[in-house]
Amino acid sequence: MPGTLRLYLDFASPYSYFALGPLARLAEEHDRELEFRPILLWAVFKQQGIVNPLEKPARRRYFLEDVTRSAAFFGLPFRIPEPLQISAHLSGRLYHGWTARRPQDGLRLASEIFEAFFAKGEDIADLAVLAALPCLTGETPETIRAMIDGSEGRQRLSEAVDEACAAGVTGVPFVTLDGESFFGADRLPQIAWRLQHPRG
């Protein structure tokens, strides 16, 4: 049975946003399950003792240039977030809380969170913004708050961070496939190639 594509992502990461759709299409084309693991990259960095690379002015300048170019390359609407870096813990908890019971809706929810933040310029650290996501229509504010503040979403997000550290995640998007790891949206062609030419 073909193995799964496991995608570690951070909802505050533009590169995760760029990779989501293409990876979903690759998984469908090759009859592979795509598993999502939303994490907090800053928490992974903290466990691993990695300094935030955007603290360096040269890296920050390049990042701003590259994400704008990359969005155009992938044909996606994009706005530079303000502030540039946030903790996506609310959206991460929401995702894990929601998909604990609705795993089939993971791609839709992830896409809507990314669209809100990077296409519409909305603040995904605002509970009201998350509650207004289209796929949550019909859910009560109390239910949505419970998914964000409840123990299940918190625990599943924490476990995903620990799993990412154990898997050697050093950035996002980070994909594991049949024992191999691929880091970055620019590795999509290699993932496509590997799916066409599995290791023996």
Contacts of 186 (CB under 8 A, 6+ apart): none
- pLDDT tens, position by position, 52-100: 889 899 999 999 999 999 999 999 999 999 998 999 999 999 999 999 9
SS3 label, residue 5: strand
Phi-psi region of 121 (alpha: psi -120 to 50; beta: other; left: phi over 0): left
pLDDT tens, the chain, 200 aa long: 578 999 999 999 999 999 999 999 999 999 999 999 999 999 999 999 998 889 899 999 999 999 999 999 999 999 999 998 999 999 999 999 999 999 999 999 999 999 999 999 999 999 999 999 999 999 999 999 999 999 999 999 999 999 999 999 999 999 999 999 999 999 999 999 999 999 87
The residue count for the chain: 200
Domains of the chain in sequence order: 5-196 (3.40.30.10)
How, if at all, do strands 174-177 and 180-183 pair? Answer: antiparallel
Give the pLDDT score at 1.
56
Q: For residues 102 and 19, what is the distance between their CA atoms, to the nearest angstrom? A: 22
CA gyration radius, the chain = 16
Burial of 193 (0-12, 13-18, 19+ CB in 10 A): exposed
CA distances to 52, 77, 98 from 59, rounded to whole Å, are 10, 23, 35
